[in-house]
Structure 1
Amino acid sequence: MGQDYYKLLGIDKSASQDEIKKAYRKAALKWHPDRNKDNIATAEKKFKEVSEAFEVLSDDNKRTVYDQYGEEGLKANGGAGPGANPFGAGTGGGAFPGASFGFGGGGGGFQASDPNDIFSHIFGGGMGGGMGGMGGGADMFGGGSPFGGASGGFGGMPGGPGGRRRGPQRQESSAPLEPVAEITRPLALTLEEIYKGGTKRLKITRKLRNGSEEGKVLEIAYKAGWKKGTKVKFQGAGHEDEHGRGQTIVFVVEEKPHGRFTREDDDLVVRLNINLLDALVGNNEGTREVEHLDGRKIKVALPKGIITPNQETRVAGEGFPITRKDSVKKVGDLVVKWNVHFPRTLSDSQKDGLKKILG
């Protein structure tokens, strides 16, 4: 039966040349041995197969023969009788530099090129002596292997150091990859944490390109005074895409609700109750005590005179640290907002008394 080249590349038989090339790029990156160190034997086999499939399907002559006779016919000189040459005299040679196959002239049928030659030809770069087994000396994208310069590769396959000499190669630029994806996650902090600053250690599990998973601990040092919406980025820490690039994880600060305090810009706000009598009569010597986020007891003097609902008293320098470098003020304030507690009911005599006083 032979190999199904279309299936190897994951394309239809009607695929265009652009679709064939795109499918090869994806498959070659997926199965390159330098990116599959944990499964090198399978990767080498698959890398060789997808390269051969691309080499045949990207050439109209060879594709026509393959579609008619299949892989076995293609490699047996098109399935014709002994000595026959169904391809004509002009179809010999390969589509890729250094190919060791031929059609016509008694060449004996198609022989696949070195997959490294095809890879370097498609992904560009003046390779000269080839990829050298994908090891030292490869310079595909302006310096080193695209897979971190890892050594190894195809062992005794032709094309490494000492292999046959390659002819001149036509450089073909690779289409630019899409930007690395970003994934957003909340970083929920209490007001106590934001007031003091500190460090959080978050354990994540990310998916790797080869299908396995990896546990990782990210350490986030958050500063005192950080505001809601502040972002912390970890490049390459997320799931890997088909090219082995990790997503960027973006943590966005959120403020957890507090039982007593709220935050307004850089100010720490608390509401204190006062009854109507104290609000009207006033107590110039009176104070209220507020337990701060760090546990300190802060005494807050009552306002002089009549206290109106939502009237504010500020205690300077007891708010959140201000992180803006251009700010003259370095710390916000503690803001007390007074809740005047009105009685729910009044007796008739109380009403009459208030009418006499206020009427």
Structure 2
Amino acid sequence: MPPSSSSGYSYANGSGGNSKGFNPRNAEDIFAEFFGSSPFGFGSAGPGKSTRFQSEGGGTFGGFGMGENIFRTYSDGSVPRKPPPVESKLPCSLEELYSGSTRKMKISRTVVDANGRQTPESEILTIDVKPGWKKGTKITFPDKGNEQPNQLPADLVFVIDEKPHDVYKRDSNDLIVNHKVSLAEALGGTSVSLITLDGRDLNIAVTDIISPGFELGIPGEGMPIAREPGNRGDLRIKFEVKFPTKLTPEQRAGLKRALGG
């Protein structure tokens, strides 16, 4: 079934013709059929050209309450050019990208009125930042860029940028934490206490021997996966062992006894 337009008409795309046998005609032909003559006062532009229809003041369409400039095309048959999108960064904290947030963005732009004059306009745009969005995600607002005479308005694109975090670093859907431990903790066990990005207390007991380069993974404590609702990446804790710079003879002897050296 072809999609329905906002005015209630159905339309079909492609070159296969209209399934209901409808033959499109221009506005002059339709008015001439009903009223006996064209109400526009313009002749046909002929093959290969289009006509600019415009109601000035008390023109034909004014009586129908339809306003001015109902049809705006160009006598040379050209199509108005659409400028490239206007991009703007949208910095987000890691907490926002973890839990989601709603951002209100006030934009100022120029628009072209019915008389072709450029005027300033301000507008508040709402952006629903979804959990799991990544740096580089683009949110497009069609036709919300500046307008220029005889041009289509540009699209406005916000590009997600990720703010640095004091504790966590993001790696795709995983979160990375760097944690330092003493040699005694590396050998004898330790625990890691963290506050998650959604404010929970997370206490992790580490009973493994922590060797240089050791990494502990906690499944499901990473970032939400935007395209897999309910799933999350992993939390990866990377350990750095702090070796003592010097030991007393007694400490050395104690280590040898403990380690069987």
Determine the structure 2 residue equivalent to 1:291. Answer: 195
Query: Displacement, 1:175?
Result: 2.2
Residues 160-179 of structure 1: per-residue CA shift (max 9 Å, x gap): xxxxxxxxxxx965123323
| Distance in 2, Cα, partners of 1:261 & 1:184 | 28
Q: Partner amino acid for 1:282?
A: G
Distance in 1, matches of 2:205 and 2:172, equals 23
Change (3 A) 1:353 1:230: same
Q: Secondary structure at the match of 2:118?
A: coil
Alignment of 1:1-359 (within 5 A): 117=42, 124-125=49-50, 133=56, 135-136=60-61, 150-151=67-68, 174-209=77-112, 210-243=117-150, 245-279=152-186, 281-283=187-189, 286-305=190-209, 307-325=210-228, 330-343=231-244, 345-347=245-247, 349=249, 353=253
Q: What amino acid is the match of 2:199?
A: G
C-alpha distance in structure 1 between counterparts of 2:60 and 2:100, whole Å: 47
Q: CA 1:181 to 1:275, structure 2 compared with 1: closer, same or farther past 3 Å?
A: same
State the Cα distance separating 1:277 from its structure 2 match: 2.1
Q: Distance in 2 between matches of 1:241 and 1:336?
A: 53
Where structure 1 has 5 or more consecutive residues not aligned to the other structure, the ranges are: 1-115, 138-148, 154-170
* Aligned-residue offset at 1:191: 0.4
Q: Is the 8 A contact 1:225 1:322 kept in 2?
A: yes
Matched residue of 2:238: which SS? strand
Unpaired segments ≥5 residues, structure 2: 1-40
Q: Answer whether contact 1:187 1:254 (CA < 8 A) is retained.
A: yes
CA separation of 1:179/1:151 partners in 2, compared to 1, >3 Å: closer, same or farther? closer
Q: Distance in 2 between matches of 1:229 and 1:350?
A: 57
Structure 1 residues 222, 287: CA separation in 2 closer, same or farther (over 3 Å shift)?
same
Kindly indicate whether the alpha-carbon contact (under 8 Å) linking 1:262 and 1:269 is maintained by their aligned counterparts in 2. Answer: yes
CA-CA distance at 1:354 after TM superposition: 9.1
Q: Cα–Cα, structure 1 residues 132 and 278, in superposed 2: closer, same or farther, change >3 Å?
A: closer
Letter in 1 for 2:128: A
- After superposition, give the CA deviation of every residue in 1:70-129 in whole Å (9 maximum; x if it has no partner): xxxxxxxxxxxxxxxxxxxxxxxxxxxxxxxxxxxxxxxxxxxxxx859968993378xx
Kept after mapping to 1: 8 A contact 2:50/2:77 = no
Greater share of strand: 2
Shift of 1:295: 1.4
Question: What is the distance in 2 between the residues matched to 1:352 and 1:276?
Answer: 13
Helix, strand or coil for the counterpart of 2:96? helix
Query: 1:309-332 deviations in whole A, cap 9, x for unaligned?
Result: 33211221111111225x9x8211
Instruction: Decide which structure has the larger Cα Rg and report it.
Output: 1
Residue correspondences, number: 208
SS in 2 for 1:228: coil
Amino acid in structure 2 at the alignment position of 1:273: K
Structure of greater relative contact order (alpha carbons < 8 Å, 6+ residues apart): 2
What are the Cα deviations for residues 19-44 of structure 1, in whole angstroms up to 9, with x where unaligned? xxxxxxxxxxxxxxxxxxxxxxxxxx
